Amino acid sequence: MNSRTLGPTGYSVSEIGFGGWGLGADMWRGADDALAREALRAAVDQGVTFFDTALAYGSGHSERLIGEVLRDHIRAGRVRIATKVPPLNEEWPGRANRPLAAVFPVRHIAASTETSLQNLGVEALSLQQLHVWHDAWLDDPDWETCYDRMGRLKREGKVLHWGISINDHAPETALRVLADPLFETAQVIYNIYDRSPEAALFGLARTKPLGIIVRVPFDEGALTGQIRSTTVFPPGDWREEYFKGDRRAEAERRGKALAGLLDAEVETLPELALRFCLSSPAVSTVIPGMRRPAHVRQNAAASAKGPLSPRLLSQLKGHAWDKNWYPD
């Protein structure tokens, strides 16, 4: 497993990190806690040192599982955990016309941080992120108090570093806040279909500098080739909505077109998707969602194979796909 530096935090993090949304087991169905624990242990065995979670994932369930399995590694500084302050109004994505007091009132930021510390069973959060953001909030009269409280949590040693988890498919909505030195990382959707961060965010990352955490590298599974027109999700799984109507058939068609590019250089679609992300030097770590040890081992192996060839990267440009399937 290769490592990269997570921007100004100075953390050395594995190129393949661990996406912990599925561990929450509320929106993602079809796996269980025993399997999740095995997946977490397998990740440590494979050299994964960066784990992403959020208080919102199963109302703290993902954090508690990660804390239970990884606590000794966290305390010894062998792994870094990133978590998130949920928006109080429970609205994803963050909307420009909402007052900051409805989304991130100061008391909520402090209380969420305390709850995450308890769930993980640690004294300090390696990285705390705002789970939604819109740059319009910088002009909100409550921003200064909010910003001061985040600075105080850092001075108190409860939050070691702050980051922003950027609204889905909208990297341009966080460029102003990310110019501020308090924010050292940006978590953003970047994959073969959505290359929008390349325009301005990666440029900012080069000059500031900024740690870039790539989420949703598989487009929620479409880029693994596992979503077909006939795919049936477990009852209650949120992807029933994401891949509704003819979207499954479209995902299958596009996945097959990408599979046509596989050869000796890249053997599987998940490998192609992960190595695409890692081919950008602006990227610090990629966090595929993983709930099964077999996926952990497959994904971890992508790091050692290095960036894609210029030929393949150029072919992938034609596969970009402008869409937003998240509920609004």
Q: In the complex, which residues of this chain contact ligand NAP (CB under 6 A)?
A: 19-22, 52, 131, 165, 187, 215-221, 224, 226, 270, 287-292, 295, 298-299
Closest approach, Cβ 224 to ligand NAP, in A, equals 4
Closest approach, Cβ 76 to ligand NAP, in A, equals 23
Closest approach, Cβ 132 to ligand NAP, in A, equals 7
User: What is the spatial distance between Cα 319 and Cα 323, in angstroms, rounded to a whole number?
Assistant: 12
Q: Which runs of consecutive H residues, i.e. helices, occur in 32-124?
A: 33-45, 61-75, 100-103, 106-120
Element (H, E) at 206: helix 201-207
Contacts with 127 (C-beta within 8 Å, 6 or more apart), sequence order: 6, 9, 11, 80, 81, 82, 83, 160, 161, 162, 163, 185
Cβ closest to ligand NAP, residue 110 vs residue 189: 189
Closest approach, Cβ 182 to ligand NAP, in A, equals 18
Q: Among 23, 13, 62, which Cα is nearest to 289's?
A: 23
Q: What does the CA dihedral 184, 172, 252, 270 come to, rounded to 10 degrees?
A: -20
Cβ closest to ligand NAP, residue 141 vs residue 166: 166
Cβ closest to ligand NAP, residue 215 vs residue 254: 215
Contacts with 180 (C-beta within 8 Å, 6 or more apart), sequence order: none
Closest approach, Cβ 141 to ligand NAP, in A, equals 26
Cβ closest to ligand NAP, residue 91 vs residue 156: 91
User: What is the spatial distance between Cα 30 and Cα 233, in angstroms, rounded to a whole number?
Assistant: 8
Residue 172: what are its φ and ψ, rounded to 5°? -70, -10
Closest approach, Cβ 87 to ligand NAP, in A, equals 10
Cβ closest to ligand NAP, residue 20 vs residue 255: 20
Cβ closest to ligand NAP, residue 152 vs residue 172: 172
Cβ closest to ligand NAP, residue 11 vs residue 218: 218
Closest approach, Cβ 119 to ligand NAP, in A, equals 15
Pairing between β-strand 12-14 and β-strand 3-5 as defined by DSSP bridges? antiparallel
User: What is the spatial distance between Cα 46 and Cα 26, in angstroms, rounded to a whole number?
Assistant: 27
Residue nearest ligand NAP (C-beta atom): 289
